[in-house]
């Protein structure tokens, strides 16, 4: 099993290109099921999760091809299967997003209950409640969701009880082919939702309001093919910005949209970073200084993202002062704390939702183990700031969300090697 060996203590400096967003690519790939015509997706990141989604599309009978420029073309005409098996869905929660498109287009689907990172309860009840509101008959049996809409879905007013990114995405896609008008209320507003909405509009969906709490969709009888470029990955961008800040370095990120990073950039400035932004680039410079501790509280977009909480905790662990981190999205997202403390951090847990981080003068290398995707990147940041050589085990978590992370870190001066 691969591991990362990281020798810390050096300031990260240089220029990096940001990859396409995994959290945008996965629902958009699921959305290719809505049309019989070819759809070309560019800027998709080369990650295990994307490969899993492509494998799932292939299992359903879609034709999937990758050209010499690494563009992905999907033609989902005449699917041979409407079942998304446990073997694939268990490894990646986003596989569940094929449910809405399949029911909308084919009137039936059978999708395993999802897996993914073990970061707490992430029920799919809002997905199912929404599909039922659109007229589907839904049954959960033997670990599978079985949905039927023999006469097609019908537009409706759908009120989600809580803000859910996946639920918003599944219902957006399902409503595109429903008869009549659907209004989705209490929607997630993440930039990835906007990217999905733009993609669906490219395929001929009559959709508006995406990026706001209320999305309105007038169903169409069929959707067309088209081309779409995946947005930059704001979580990857944020991770490298924090890594540079934690090491007192400087970095310029290109092919990035600073507008999607607002809450994070504000916190980095509070931590002492000088931030400069352009149309498609962000620059951070710590001028060699140690960061200042900053309090963090996660909330849905445009608040501070839960997917950046662990990384910022790594920065706070070597910052001047004491900080409080409150996790309001998932109840089991502090699994990295024990491993961070192995590196010499001084972090106290107060229940499942609050951590107090006392900044220490330095971290020291130790063997650690990744527990989930974002927690694993926090260990990478901590190792880059630590004295000595740290080995991180179970890095398959990292490979689910970061494209060639060791190569990118090497480009900006990180002493990082992948070892078996």
- For residue 202, report the phi and psi dihedrals to the nearest 5 degrees: -60, -35
Question: Terminus-to-terminus CA distance in the chain, angstroms?
Answer: 6
Sheet holding 346-350, edge to edge: 296-297, 322-326, 354-358, 346-350
Distance CA 94, CA 170 (A): 10
**From its phi and psi, is residue 152 left (phi > 0), alpha (psi between -120 and 50) or beta?**
left
The catalytic residues are 117
128: preceding bond cis by omega (within 30 degrees) = no
- Burial of 272 per CB tally in 10 Å (0-12, 13-18, 19+): middle
Distance CA 222, CA 81 (A): 20
- What value, to the nearest 5°, has the Cα angle with vertex 326 and ends 261 and 360? 90
Distance CA 209, CA 207 (A): 7
| Cα 320 → chain centroid | 30
């Amino acid at each position: 099993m691969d591991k990362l060996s990281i020798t810390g203590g050096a300031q990260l400096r240089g220029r990096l290109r940001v990859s396409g967003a995994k959290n945008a690519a996965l629902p958009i790939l699921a959305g290719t099921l809505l049309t019989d015509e070819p759809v070309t997706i560019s800027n998709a990141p080369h990650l295990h999760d994307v490969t899993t989604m492509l494998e799932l599309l292939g299992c359903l009978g879609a034709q999937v091809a990758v050209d010499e420029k690494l563009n992905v073309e999907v033609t989902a005409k005449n699917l041979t299967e409407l079942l998304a098996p446990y073997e694939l869905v268990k490894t990646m929660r986003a596989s569940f997003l094929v449910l809405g498109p399949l029911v909308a287009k084919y009137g039936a689907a059978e999708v395993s209950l999802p897996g993914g990172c073990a970061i707490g309860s992430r029920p799919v009840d809002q997905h199912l409640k929404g599909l039922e509101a659109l007229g589907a008959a839904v049954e959960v049996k033997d670990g599978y969701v079985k949905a039927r809409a023999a006469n097609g879905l019908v537009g409706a007013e759908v009120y989600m009880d809580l803000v859910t990114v996946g639920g918003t995405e599944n219902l957006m896609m399902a409503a595109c082919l429903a008869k009549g008008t659907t209004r989705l209320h209490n929607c997630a507003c993440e930039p990835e939702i906007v990217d999905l909405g733009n993609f669906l509009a490219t395929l001929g969906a009559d959709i508006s309001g995406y990026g706001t709490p209320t999305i309105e969709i007038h169903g169409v009888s069929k959707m067309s093919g088209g081309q779409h470029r995946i947005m930059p990955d704001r979580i990857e961008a944020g991770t490298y910005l924090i890594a540079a800040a934690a090491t007192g370095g400087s970095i310029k990120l290109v092919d990035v949209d600073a507008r999607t990073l607002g809450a994070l950039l504000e916190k980095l400035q509070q931590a002492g970073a000088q931030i400069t932004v352009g149309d498609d680039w962000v620059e951070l410079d710590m001028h060699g200084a140690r960061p200042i501790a900053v309090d963090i509280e996660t909330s849905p977009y445009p608040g501070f993202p839960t997917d950046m909480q662990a990384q910022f905790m790594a920065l706070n662990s070597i910052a001047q002062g004491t900080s409080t981190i409150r996790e309001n999205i998932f109840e089991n997202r502090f699994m990295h704390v024990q491993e961070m403390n192995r590196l010499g951090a001084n972090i106290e847990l107060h229940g499942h939702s609050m951590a107090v981080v006392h900044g220490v003068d330095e971290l020291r290398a130790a063997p650690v183990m990744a527990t989930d995707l974002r927690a694993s990147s926090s260990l990478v940041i901590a190792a880059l700031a630590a004295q000595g050589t740290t080995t991180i085990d179970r890095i398959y978590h990292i490979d689910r969300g970061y494209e060639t992370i060791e190569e990118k870190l090497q480009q900006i001066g990180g002493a990082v090697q992948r070892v078996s």
